[in-house]
Amino acid sequence: MITLENVHKKYSNDVAIGPVSISIPAGGITALVGPNGAGKSTLLTMVGRLMGIDEGTISISGFDVASTASKDLAKIVSILRQENHFVTRLTVRQLVGFGRFPHSKGRLSAADELIVSRSIDFLDLGALEARYLDELSGGQRQRAYVAMVLAQDTEYVLLDEPLNNLDMAHSVQMMAHLRRAAEELGRTIVIVLHDINFAGHYADHICAVKHGKVVEFGTPAEIMRDDVLTRVFETPVTVIDGPRGPLAVYY
């Protein structure tokens, strides 16, 4: 369980995050949704200790993010940001191998290699593992990054807009992979999503953020409603019954 208590971060007089108090249950996929600039990514980066907080506490399965050593947290939680650019030239497999660093400290054992192979296969990157990252398409590269955080073998996986720049097919494929990671590998995945319909279909819980505060939290059935979505996104939204569940129409 990820618990945020009274989390507060101030940027300027009128831009602030929080106070946020929320518990994200263990297991399944929790989607963070909300309008631009609402603070979804910021919340995620604070949970992933990439950014400090001014007040309050964040704990991940009982460990306080601020006081637990970073190297210990790296075995419990992994975070993947949107922009990933490396100056070094890496093959897919080398990148995924870095995911084992918290456990192996750079000395990969046979067991580590096995886990690396497994997460590469899990994301169907087997045929590409010897390729360099700069030889891959955007979608393939995104999968390689996800394979790295899966190889980190953490209970909690935080992903910041992993569907960014992916086309329809690759988005669907990525979400299906994440769904399987949650179900087959028992990971708790917290993901920032832009498309409310993806959240409605693939997530177990939806957390709506607006003006730096959590305004709604519930199952897709509770969130995928005209009045709730209209209020969150400040634009008229109609939810209709689609062939695969509720569908938000906003244009």
Partner 1 sequence: MAETTITAPRTTPKLRAGNRRSSGPLPSKKVGKRYWIVLSILIVLSLGFGFGLLAWDNPMPPGSRGFWLIAQMRASNVLVMLVVAFCQAIATVSFQTVTNNRIITPSIMGFESLYVAVQTAAVFLLGAAGVVAIQGVGQFVLQVLIMVALSVALYGWLLSGKYGNIQIMLLVGIIIGAGLGSVSTFMQRLLSPSEFDVLTARLFGSVANADPSYFPIAIPLCLLAGTGLILNARRLNVVSLGKETSINLGINHRREVMKTLLLVSILMAVSTALIGPMTFLGFLVATLAYQLADTYDHRYIFPVAVLTGFVILSGAYFIMKNLFYAQGVVSIIIEVIGGTVFLIFILRKGRL
Binder among 124, 135, 167, 234 for partner 1 (CB under 8 A): 124
Region binding partner 1 by CB under 8 A among candidate stretches 5-13, 77-85, 191-199, 217-225 = 77-85
Does residue 72 bind partner 1 (CB under 8 A)? Answer: yes
Does residue 216 bind partner 1 (CB under 8 A)? Answer: no
Smallest distance from partner 1 to CB 117, Å: 5
> Under 8 Å CB-to-CB from 133, ≥6 apart: which residues?
86, 89, 90, 91, 92, 95, 141, 144
Strand partners, 31: 191, 206
Written as one letter, the residue type at 8 is H
Contact of 205 with 189, CB cutoff 8 Å: no
Does residue 50 bind partner 1 (CB under 8 A)? Answer: yes
Structure tokens at 7: 């989390």
Nearer to partner 1, 49 or 210 (CB): 49
Does residue 107 bind partner 1 (CB under 8 A)? Answer: yes
Q: How far apart are CA 58 and CA 71, in angstroms?
A: 17
Binder among 41, 57, 94, 230 for partner 1 (CB under 8 A): 94
Contact of 204 with 28, CB cutoff 8 Å: yes
Angle between helical axes of 168-184 and 110-122 (0-180°, round to 10): 130
Binder among 36, 87, 184, 227 for partner 1 (CB under 8 A): 87
Measured CA distances, 142 to 70, 96, 206, 242 (Å):
25, 12, 23, 29
Does residue 163 bind partner 1 (CB under 8 A)? Answer: no
Positions that interact with partner 1 (CB under 8 A): 48-50, 70-75, 78-81, 84-91, 93-94, 96-102, 105-108, 112-113, 116-117, 121, 124, 126-127, 129-130, 134, 149, 152, 172-173, 176-177, 180, 243-244
